[in-house]
Amino acid sequence: MELARYLKDRQQLIDAALDRYLPAADTLPVRLHQAMRYSMFAGGKRLRPILALAACDAVGGDLKTVMPVACALEMIHTYSLIHDDLPAMDDDDFRRGRETCHKVYGEALAILAGDALLTEAFILLGGMAADKPEIAKSSCRALHIIARCAGSRGMVGGQVVDMDSEGKEIDLPTLEYIHTHKTGALILASVQAGCLIGGGGEVAFEALTRYAGAAGLAFQVADDILDVVGDQALLGKDVGSDEARGKATYPALLGLSEARGRAVELRDVALASLSGFGPDADPLRQIAHYIVDRSF
Amino acid sequence: MELARYLKDRQQLIDAALDRYLPAADTLPVRLHQAMRYSMFAGGKRLRPILALAACDAVGGDLKTVMPVACALEMIHTYSLIHDDLPAMDDDDFRRGRETCHKVYGEALAILAGDALLTEAFILLGGMAADKPEIAKSSCRALHIIARCAGSRGMVGGQVVDMDSEGKEIDLPTLEYIHTHKTGALILASVQAGCLIGGGGEVAFEALTRYAGAAGLAFQVADDILDVVGDQALLGKDVGSDEARGKATYPALLGLSEARGRAVELRDVALASLSGFGPDADPLRQIAHYIVDRSF
């Protein structure tokens, strides 16, 4: 399996599904739906839906069944980026080289486009749970996990602590709180939901939970390292932007070499948690490698 | 049945349940949960949850079962108020005589508190669907309805069109679009979800859907009338504030007398739709009267 090819194929599948699931650009109110689509199709890597699909693969599930869940996760991720970029939050004018939603559509519409994308995710998940009685139980459980991971004790909570920590000296436990919540929670939800909808049992669920916890944190450590040493194309934002903003990072707290060691350690925990799986889990394995290796 | 007493009793039940369902004020991140609670307990009338409970009563359902749904609806309503009040939107410093969320907690936290309340609603609904297999089917259907009514083709869509229409001349169909979406959709979802979780069949569901459509629009017509002639305590905002803001209203488009006629007509449609129900639907009947009669 060649990972680059795999990721690209999956991105295309996911983009096509997102296009089907999102309200058409000419649906009223038109500008709202345009704003939602503008941010949804702004060149995201689709990491969360790819992880949901890969977790579904790992337990031998059906890709078509998990696709709405995968797309809902990407909608939630995109809403969080739109709101993070707002003037009252990070005040970013650009993301991945394109103007941010509020720069193009104005602040009010960007707030509402974010709100609508978050809600759209639950329309998709709720529709799936309501219309497919054969997977209603796992759908409800997946929906519940996704909501918890996205909420005040998950992603939104991480964003609040991150915001409160800007320009302050923070310790490693606070940094880990931020990352396990702000980005880790939704990555965890992606893998867990993919496993559930794919029909994975409790043993697989526990193993994939360990995988996602380690891989999610590794992703963030690697992202911090890339912010110091990386190339802008890989990172999707300006190199050095965390430091400029006074954000705590792993390299700043641990030093570059120890941060790299931590990333490798987390990658290996992620790989070890997959020991009970066969080749169906190879995409998850390669993604764990990719996450960490790009920061070297 | 004395309506004032009934409404007060229900408000107390709902407030107690909201207090149980919301994360405690000392849960991390503390300020986020404080901000969420600040806006949740800012003296709302609890119309949407009361309607959900009353619809459940009308079909002979169990109040305890419907309470999480009722509270989720109020969380969604509250998030929409927090975001509507933001500087980028209506820029309101006060709501019901208290400072708005962003005045107390800052704009960034207000955006996130709104996001978290919307998500919390789905945590509650998803948990109910996941944990109660005996009502999983109706829970999923209720969740799906609520999400659709709250999203870009429902409440958020109405808010966008309302925003775009400010200071412009709009016609009656546009005004009805705004109201049936911005406020009507969530009122409809409240009644429909209460009916479903209460175990109502398709005939009851259709009748209560007609009730909610008419009562929801009547509520808005009456609100517009109150904005012209009403007293501030009843209205919860400044009298004349719509006109000052250049918002289209029913009295402005139809004249006061015809607007009142329209409210009465809608009330009577709401009442007629309940003709197949016995005394269990009396609260819904009295609420329809109350909604319209307060504007006379």
The 3-state secondary structure of chain B, one letter per residue: CCHHHHHHHHHHHHHHHHHHHCCCCCCCCHHHHHHHHHHHCCCCCCHHHHHHHHHHHHCCCCHHHHHHHHHHHHHHHHHHHHHHHCCCCCCCCEECCEECHHHHHCHHHHHHHHHHHHHHHHHHHHHHHHHCHHHHHHHHHHHHHHHHHHCCCCHHHHHHHHHHHCCCCCCHHHHHHHHHHHHHHHHHHHHHHHHHHCCCCHHHHHHHHHHHHHHHHHHHHHHHHHHHHCCHHHHCCCCCHHHHCCCCCHHHHHCHHHHHHHHHHHHHHHHHCCCCCCHHHHHHHHHHHHHHHCCC
Does the pLDDT value for residue A236 go beyond 70?
A: no
Question: Is any Cβ of chain A less than 8 angstroms from the Cβ of B167?
Answer: no
| CATH 1.10.600.10 fits domain B3-293 | yes
**Which of A129-143, A222-236, A274-288, B26-40 has the least mean pLDDT?**
A222-236
Under an 8 A CB cutoff, do B29 and A150 touch? no
> What pLDDT shows up at residue B233?
53
Under an 8 A CB cutoff, do B151 and A111 touch? no
**Which of A12-26, A181-195, A243-257, B2-16 has the least mean pLDDT?**
A243-257
- Measure CB to CB from residue A119 to each of B23, B27, B147 and give the nearest one: B147
- Measure CB to CB from residue B119 to each of A28, A86, A147 and give the nearest one: A147
- Nearest-CA distance B134 → chain A (Å): 11
Which B residues 131-150 touch A at CB under 8 Å? Answer: 133, 136-137, 139-141, 143-144, 146-148, 150
Question: Is any Cβ of chain A less than 8 angstroms from the Cβ of B151?
Answer: yes
Cβ atoms of residues B273 and B288 within 8 Å: no
Does the pLDDT value for residue A240 go beyond 90?
A: no
Question: Is any Cβ of chain A less than 8 angstroms from the Cβ of B176?
Answer: no
The span from the CA of A75 to the CA of A38, in Å, is 12
The span from the CA of B209 to the CA of B188, in Å, is 7
Q: What residue of B is the nearest CA neighbor of A141?
A: B130
Question: Is any Cβ of chain B less than 8 angstroms from the Cβ of A253?
Answer: no
The span from the CA of B44 to the CA of B117, in Å, is 15
**B chain contacts of residue A106, beta-carbon cutoff 8 Å:** 88
- Measure CB to CB from residue A36 to each of B123, B144, B152 and give the nearest one: B152
The span from the CA of A296 to the CA of A232, in Å, is 14
Q: What is the pTM of this model?
A: 0.96
Query: Which pLDDT tens digit goes with each residue over B137-155?
Result: 999 999 999 999 999 999 9
Long-range contacts of B165-172 (CB under 8 A, 24+ apart): B165/B247, B165/B248, B166/B245, B166/B246, B166/B247, B167/B246, B168/B246, B168/B248, B169/B248, B170/B248, B171/B253, B172/B253, B172/B254
Say whether the peptide bond before residue A29 is cis (omega within 30 degrees of 0).
yes
**Which of A246-250, B65-69, B84-88, B198-202 has the least mean pLDDT?**
A246-250
Cβ atoms of residues B103 and B42 within 8 Å: no
3-state secondary structure of A94: strand
Percent of chain B with pLDDT over 90: 86
Nearest to residue B78, comparing CAs of B32, B50, B40, B109? B40
For an interface test with A, which of B91, B152, B161, B163 has the most A Cβ atoms less than 10 Å from its Cβ? B152
Q: How many CB pairs under 8 A join A and B?
A: 168
**A chain contacts of residue B143, beta-carbon cutoff 8 Å:** 122, 126, 129-130, 143
Interface confidence, given as ipTM, is 0.96
Cβ atoms of residues B196 and B263 within 8 Å: no
Q: Name the more confident of B133 and A140.
A: A140
Domain boundaries defined on chain A: 3-293
Distance of CA A199 to the CA centre of its chain: 22
Question: Is any Cβ of chain A less than 8 angstroms from the Cβ of B122?
Answer: yes
**A chain contacts of residue B28, beta-carbon cutoff 8 Å:** 153, 157, 161, 177
**Tell me, what DSSP letter sits at residue A165?**
H
Helix axes B63-85, B155-165, angle to 10 degrees: 30
Which A residues 18-37 touch B at CB under 8 Å? Answer: 23, 27-29, 31-33, 36
